[in-house]
Amino acid sequence: MNFNLNFRPIQRNIKNGLIEVAPNIWTIEAKECICYRPPMQPRYPYTYRAIVIRLKNNSLFVLSPTPLTPELRTDIDRLGNVKFIVSPNHIHHLHMGDWSKAYPEAFLYASPRLPPKRKDLNFHKTLKSNILEPEWADEIDWCIFGTSQGLLDEIVFFHPSSGTVIFTDLIMDFDPANFNNLSKVTTRWNQMYKHTPLGIQLAHIFDRAALRAALNTVYHWQPERIIIAHSPWLCLEGKEEVKKFLEKAFDWLNPVPIIIETVMSLIRFIAVFLVILPIHFLIVLFADIIYPKVKKNLSKYFVI
């Protein structure tokens, strides 16, 4: 497939990270990367972004918040009143506490697996099913990719008035220029370019039918713009372009006969426990324990 789609670049010289994507929707581009190690991978520097949506009553819906600086806060307060602070999955929650302290009147919303992880936060609600949330029912749609049978669930949001769909970790894209040669190979192997990373595919061993249903909900929205949290571009625009992009990113969810699906689920299950986890353990052992010690000892005798 010819995959030269027209991605809108991130404009340079943005003041405090805030960029208007369309009327009433902005991204906040995090200034610093976050370092994270996916299963069986080295640590990668991830660029990431938050999303801000302004509702009709001037309330702001902040998804996956980035660090809140005083300068950014001034810009945010010019847009409206922060009322909803939302986590799309149990990984993107790091700055919710700071935003909650800055905006104590705001309601915190959790993704299904987050509350046990962040017992320090006082969540107003956990988004557990696809029932419309009355606080933003007419202005933001959402659906959960995942079930209790999977290891990771993510809430995908849609802003109908701008036709924008928002993904966090279900699709990733990186700029290979930011990586060393080893990381260039491992990110390719882990399918981290305009695709669902392999680790997330493996987290959904038995619940792929539910993910297909969720993806159909997204197609039904007919998004004309897509933002993803980890990408070197701001958004992709155009209904046909977005559809093409999603079909390629989620080609691993293409329907297969039930017998093949069952066999593949068992193979994935065995692979995760007998292959993926042991290899992951060895990589962590080497990269985080053995290699730093060897390097430290050698540095006493050699310049490394």
* Residues near Fe ion, by CB under 5 A: 169
- DSSP state for residue 251 in the 8-state scheme: G
Min dist CB 277 to Fe ion, Å, is 21
CB 27 within 8 A of CB 21: yes
> Smaller CB distance to Fe ion: residue 141 or 169?
169
> Smaller CB distance to Fe ion: residue 38 or 223?
38
- The residues with which 195 forms a beta bridge, in sequence order, are 172
Q: What is the DSSP string of 174-206?
A: --GGGS-HHHHHHHHHTT-SSB--HHHHHH-SS
DSSP H or E segment with residue 236: strand 233-237
Min dist CB 109 to Fe ion, Å, is 17
- The residues with which 49 forms a beta bridge, in sequence order, are 29
Min dist CB 90 to Fe ion, Å, is 11
Q: What is the largest CA-CA distance in the chain?
A: 67
Min dist CB 34 to Fe ion, Å, is 8
Min dist CB 168 to Fe ion, Å, is 6
> Smaller CB distance to Fe ion: residue 169 or 237?
169
What is the spatial distance between Cα 226 and Cα 208, in angstroms, rounded to a whole number? 22
What is the spatial distance between Cα 41 and Cα 24, in angstroms, rounded to a whole number? 37
Chain residue at closest Cβ approach to Fe ion? 169
What is the spatial distance between Cα 246 and Cα 239, in angstroms, rounded to a whole number? 11
> Smaller CB distance to Fe ion: residue 94 or 272?
94
Min dist CB 91 to Fe ion, Å, is 5
Q: What are the φ and ψ backbone dihedral angles of 129, each rounded to 5 degrees?
A: -135, 175
> Smaller CB distance to Fe ion: residue 169 or 224?
169
What is the spatial distance between Cα 62 and Cα 66, in angstroms, rounded to a whole number? 10
> Smaller CB distance to Fe ion: residue 55 or 91?
91
